[in-house]
């Protein structure tokens, strides 16, 4: 194409994209008018208006995210037809709703990502636009089906991966590659495992897969939403913009430490304690700890009933305990069985002594009346309640687990390892979360709380019924010529407002606050770090077992994490999980990956390092410094990078001022990385090499290493500087 022809084509494309934005603005204005009207409450019932408001709010957000990069490409078929590809779909209402812009997730858009010179998918050309805001700056054409004729398919990709990093992860809708697209659109109803080394784009592929599933299965998935689980808050903040930028907001982002609403993690376990808590063997400990709280009295407990001195002896308590355990109910629910047996024994003994000589069992009515009176007395007897609390207490997960941790005696009684002991019982750790969640299932709810809520609900319903009855009676008493004044009339939806607390929160907010909420799909990132107990929690959150699992076994840090995907998933989804791998590194340049690959070969020789798609032309370096020189050397790096565009970070072992641990940078990427004291990172236990591998592969452009001792042998590929 000549320069003049290119300019003419560019003007034409700018005009077409401007027309798309005009159509977007018109559609946005129409939806916002509907949203405003729905908020004003014009017509319909309360529930209908709520549903309409939420539906229109979602549509407003979907249209708003399309402002930047609305259209990013064009496909030309062999027959000469054009299709424009963008973030959302737009249609021509005047022409039988003919698509003027295809949503990137639509089946017709697939060729944009998978067509190649060897397999053109009946396409002649792929055009990719470079845009800023609403403006098309230029475009790149890739001619398909004719290898060697001006093919430049990697131009947009290389521009994206070479661009300076910002504060958060960017979507890749304009540069999805064929191997990524196949995973994004994979039709698999169960668990999909996506494994890939650093920089292969596995996280962003998983997020685009969620957007694709929400597009193709919206009715099934939207009302329950999607859960995204990441390793730490920094990572979640890094990725949290991707799905909203693709028009999807019904998503909850959380860490495993936040899966129990209201719980605050304030401490960190030792590796051994984390390993013990992460194993399914801890289930036996929890069951034994509960059983230990279902006690028998060492000495009979005195109870006075209707002036008769009675006792709860060990034999009675044992009978009640056996019956309660045999009921199969959770601990708190089974308390009613325990209580029923105890009260039966006490009332039988009391009736036998009170009615001795004149009352027999044949006088059923008198016997049962006396029992009812005695049961009422027991219910009001504080000593009896205290006895029940001693023998079969109502427990919460926290009130069971905290005393267990702080008592070596209770740990021994539960068959637990003493490594679980700690001085502060309620100093909760990430590894405690799945145990607390499990205990909700084992203990059940405190029924007194449920009963109080039910009584309140009934009282509100009775109030509403009385008000409605009074309105009906007033209308019946009126003559035909009479009529109710407006201020006397209470509409049904207004009445509902008076006695029902309507939940107007967005789905993501409601789901995050509800421990019993279940999701239609769950994404788990850095999944190699999750323990067996973590997986139990997540499986409860998604009964349909629809997961996208993202990880890299070579980067596993946790002693309780996955040794293999099969060992973690097969117990829950036998035969229902699929595995896909990504092999191309889009983040780490070849110069840096060569250094990182040497570390990988040292601790995981069976794992193939991902192949970098590009070189940056900058060699990674190392420099030896003394302990006194180290702070100044770090400051020098920070100062130099502050003058460049992009992001940077200093990664080092625990306790080195000015550095961040490698574990807190998982999944993140930076233009420049400085690694401090790699020899100390390697010395931090069996997973030290994996930590160093993570640290080295965070950089997209520049990598430096500062070391105080001799440079580890696996890093001799670095260029030493003075």
Q: pLDDT for 668-717, tens place per residue?
A: 999 999 999 999 999 986 689 999 999 999 999 999 999 999 999 999 78
Shared domain check, 289 and 253: no
175 belongs to a structural domain: no
| 605 is an annotated ligand-binding site residue | no
pLDDT of residue 178: 86
pLDDT digits (tens, 9 = 90+) for 57-99: 778 877 887 888 899 999 999 988 999 999 999 998 887 789 9
Cα 281 to Cα 303: distance, rounded to the nearest angstrom: 40
pLDDT of residue 486: 42
| 199 is an annotated ligand-binding site residue | yes
Cα 525 to Cα 191: distance, rounded to the nearest angstrom: 13
Beta-bridged to residue 229, according to DSSP, are 254, 524
pLDDT of residue 114: 87
Shared domain check, 16 and 144: yes
Shared domain check, 531 and 463: no
The DSSP secondary structure of 521-536, one letter per residue, reads EEEESSGGG--HHHHH
User: Which residues are CB-neighbours of 116 under 8 A, at least 6 positions away?
Assistant: 144, 153, 178
Name residues of the chain where pLDDT drops below 70: 41-49, 118, 145-169, 171, 357, 361, 446-504, 685-686
| 588 is an annotated ligand-binding site residue | no
CATH of the domain at 199: 3.40.50.300
Beta-bridged to residue 193, according to DSSP, are 549, 579
pLDDT of residue 177: 85
How many angstroms separate the most distant Cα atoms in the chain?
119
Distance (Å) of CA 13 to CA 16, 78, 288: 5, 20, 71
pLDDT of residue 466: 58
pLDDT of residue 23: 94
| 717 is an annotated ligand-binding site residue | no
Shared domain check, 224 and 154: no
Shared domain check, 244 and 301: no
- Could you tell me which of 54, 198, 74 has the C-alpha nearest to residue 136? 74
268 belongs to a structural domain: no
b/e map 286-324, b = 16+ CB within 10 Å: bebbbebbbeebeeebebebeeeebebebebbeebbeeb
pTM of the model: 0.80
Shared domain check, 161 and 20: yes
Alpha-helical segments (H) within 444-552: 447-477, 492-499, 507-512, 532-541
φ/ψ bin of 148: left (φ > 0), alpha (ψ from -120 to 50), beta (otherwise): left
Q: Residue 237: how many CB atoms within 10 A of its CB?
A: 15
- Could you tell me which of 236, 129, 196, 50 has the C-alpha nearest to residue 550? 196
pLDDT of residue 409: 97
Task: Note down the domain range covering 14.
Answer: 3-165
153 belongs to a structural domain: yes
| 667 is an annotated ligand-binding site residue | no
| 140 is an annotated ligand-binding site residue | no
Shared domain check, 144 and 27: yes
Domains in the chain, number: 5
- Which helix or strand (DSSP H or E) is residue 642 part of? helix 630-642
**Tokens 């078929």 belong to residue:** 77
Shared domain check, 535 and 490: no
270 φ, ψ to 5°?
A: -70, 155
- Contact indicator for 117, 151 with CB cutoff of 8 Å: yes
Q: What ranges make up the beta strands (E) of 355-494?
A: none
Shared domain check, 602 and 570: no
pLDDT of residue 574: 93
């Amino acid at each position: 194409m000549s320069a003049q022809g290119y300019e003419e084509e560019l003007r034409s494309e700018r005009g077409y994209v401007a027309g798309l934005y005009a159509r977007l603005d018109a559609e946005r204005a129409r939806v916002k008018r509907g949203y405003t009207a729905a908020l004003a409450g014009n017509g319909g019932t309360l529930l209908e208006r709520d549903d309409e408001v939420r539906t229109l709010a979602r549509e407003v957000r979907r249209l708003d995210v399309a402002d930047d990069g609305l259209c990013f490409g064009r496909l030309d078929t062999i027959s000469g037809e054009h299709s424009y590809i963008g973030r959302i779909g737009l249609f021509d209402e005047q022409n039988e709703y003919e698509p003027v812009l295809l949503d990137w997730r639509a089946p017709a858009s697939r060729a944009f990502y998978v067509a190649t010179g060897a397999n053109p998918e009946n396409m002649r050309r792929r055009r990719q636009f470079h845009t800023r805001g609403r403006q098309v700056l230029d475009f790149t054409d890739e001619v398909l089906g004719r290898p060697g004729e001006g093919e430049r398919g990697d131009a947009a990709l290389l521009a994206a991966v070479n661009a300076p990093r910002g504060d958060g992860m960017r979507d890749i809708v304009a540069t999805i590659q064929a191997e990524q697209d196949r995973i994004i659109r994979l039709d698999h109803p169960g668990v999909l495992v996506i494994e890939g080394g650093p920089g292969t784009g596995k996280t962003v592929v998983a997020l685009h897969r969620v957007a694709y599933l929400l597009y193709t299965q919206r009715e099934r998935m939207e009302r329950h939403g999607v859960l995204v689980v990441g390793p730490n808050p920094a990572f979640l903040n890094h990725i949290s913009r991707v799905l909203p930028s693709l028009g999807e907001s019904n998503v909850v982002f959380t860490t495993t430490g936040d899966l129990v609403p209201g719980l605050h993690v304030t401490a960190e376990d030792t590796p051994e304690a984390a390993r013990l808590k992460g194993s399914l063997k801890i289930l036996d400990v929890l069951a034994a700890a509960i059983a230990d709280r279902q006690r028998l009295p060492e000495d009979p407990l005195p109870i006075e009933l209707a002036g008769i001195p009675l006792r709860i002896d060990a034999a009675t308590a044992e009978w009640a305990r056996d019956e309660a355990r045999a009921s199969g109910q959770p601990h708190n629910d089974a308390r009613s069985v325990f209580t029923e047996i105890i009260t039966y024994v006490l009332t039988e003994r009391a009736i036998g002594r009170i009615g001795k000589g004149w009352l027999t069992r044949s006088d059923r009515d008198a016997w049962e009346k006396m029992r009812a009176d005695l049961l009422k007395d027991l219910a009001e007897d504080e000593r009896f309640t205290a006895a029940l609390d001693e023998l079969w207490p109502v427990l919460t997960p926290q009130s069971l687990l905290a005393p267990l941790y702080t008592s070596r005696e209770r740990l021994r009684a539960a068959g637990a390892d003493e490594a679980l002991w700690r001085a502060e019982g309620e100093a909760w750790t990430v590894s405690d979360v799945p145990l607390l969640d499990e205990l909700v299932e084992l203990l059940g709810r405190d029924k007194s709380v449920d009963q109080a809520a039910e009584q309140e609900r009934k009282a509100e319903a009775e109030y509403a019924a009385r008000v409605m009855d009074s309105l009906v009676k007033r209308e019946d008493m009126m003559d035909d010529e009479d009529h109710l004044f407006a201020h006397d009339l209470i509409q049904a939806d207004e009445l509902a407002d008076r006695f029902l607390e309507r939940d107007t929160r967005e789905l993501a907010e409601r789901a995050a606050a509800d421990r019993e909420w279940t999701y239609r799909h769950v994404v788990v990132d850095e999944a190699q770090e999750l323990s067996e107990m973590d997986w139990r929690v997540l499986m409860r959150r998604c009964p349909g077992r629809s997961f996208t699992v993202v990880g890299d076994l070579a980067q596993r840090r946790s002693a309780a994490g996955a040794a293999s995907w099969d060992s973690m998933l097969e117990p829950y989804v036998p035969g229902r999980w699929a595995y896909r791998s990504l092999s191309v590194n889009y983040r780490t340049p070849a110069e840096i990956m060569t250094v990182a690959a040497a570390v990988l070969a040292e601790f995981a020789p069976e794992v193939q390092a991902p192949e970098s798609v590009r070189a940056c032309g900058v060699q990674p370096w190392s420099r030896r410094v003394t302990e006194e020189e180290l702070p100044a050397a770090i400051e020098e790096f920070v100062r130099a990078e502050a003058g460049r565009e992009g992001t940077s970070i200093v990664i080092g072992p625990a306790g080195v001022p000015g550095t961040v641990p490698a574990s807190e940078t998982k999944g993140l990427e930076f233009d420049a990385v400085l690694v401090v004291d790699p020899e100390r990172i390697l010395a931090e236990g069996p997973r030290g090499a994996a930590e160093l591998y993570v640290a080295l592969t965070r950089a997209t452009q520049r990598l430096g290493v500062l070391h105080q001792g001799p440079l580890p042998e696996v890093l001799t590929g670095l260029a030493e500087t003075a």
